[in-house]
Amino acid sequence: MAVMPKLTMGPNSPAQSLTGKGISPEALQGIQSADVTTIVESLKKFSSSMIDNMAPGIKQSMVDKLPKGVSPDAAFLNMKMDYLNQVDSSKALLETTFQNTLNSGFSKLFIAAALIALTGLILSILLKNKKSKINNLD
């Protein structure tokens, strides 16, 4: 499900080939420990961290494509702020999607626990019946 806004970059920009190498441990920890009330701020920090890690490559790819008089630093900052504002404007959708994902995970966990408990109950009943048959043979 594509919920996060798209970062508007050219098709051959360095941001198109992001890998997990540049993720800061703090940003990753923020995502892992987020709840519904903090998910948007965590995503903004994570996105900002990733964009900042890619800053030199993004600025380099912008140099030839910018109009005269526009600095890559200003264009980069404008792009970053625009993206973070898009994340803010998607707050309701992001929170709803996050909550629905959590709900789905917990319901599947509950079903799995119920099936395991039911299997254990059936096996214990079968073992009890075998024990009583063995006692009757004595």
Return the higher-pLDDT residue of 79 and 26. 79
User: In this predicted structure, what is the pLDDT of residue 122?
Assistant: 93
User: In this predicted structure, what is the pLDDT of residue 11?
Assistant: 47
- Last-in-domain residue among 68, 89, 110: 89
pLDDT in tens, 7-18: 665 544 544 444
Q: Are residues 27 and 84 in the same domain?
A: yes
Averaged pLDDT score across all residues of the chain: 82
Domain tally, the chain: 2
- Last-in-domain residue among 54, 69, 89: 89
Q: Are residues 57 and 113 in the same domain?
A: no
Element spanning 81, H or E: helix 72-89
- Residues of the domain holding 50: 21-89
Q: How confident is the model at residue 69 (pLDDT cuts 50, 70, 90)?
A: confident
pLDDT in tens, 15-40: 444 444 567 788 888 888 888 889 99
Give the whole-angstrom CA distance, residue 84 versus residue 48: 8
Q: Are residues 108 and 131 in the same domain?
A: yes
Q: Are residues 81 and 135 in the same domain?
A: no
pLDDT at 117 over 80: yes
Give the whole-angstrom CA distance, residue 15 versus residue 51: 8
Q: Are residues 83 and 113 in the same domain?
A: no
65 φ, ψ (degrees, to nearest 5): -100, -10
Q: Are residues 37 and 60 in the same domain?
A: yes
Q: Are 16 and 9 in contact (CB under 8 A)?
A: yes
Q: Are residues 79 and 30 in the same domain?
A: yes
| Three-state secondary structure call for residue 10 | coil
Give the whole-angstrom CA distance, residue 119 versus residue 114: 9
| Residue 15 CA neighbour count, 13 Å, CB half | 24
- Last-in-domain residue among 49, 67, 89: 89
Q: Are residues 81 and 49 in the same domain?
A: yes
Q: Are residues 83 and 105 in the same domain?
A: no
C-alpha separations of 28 from 22, 46, 110 in Å: 11, 7, 27
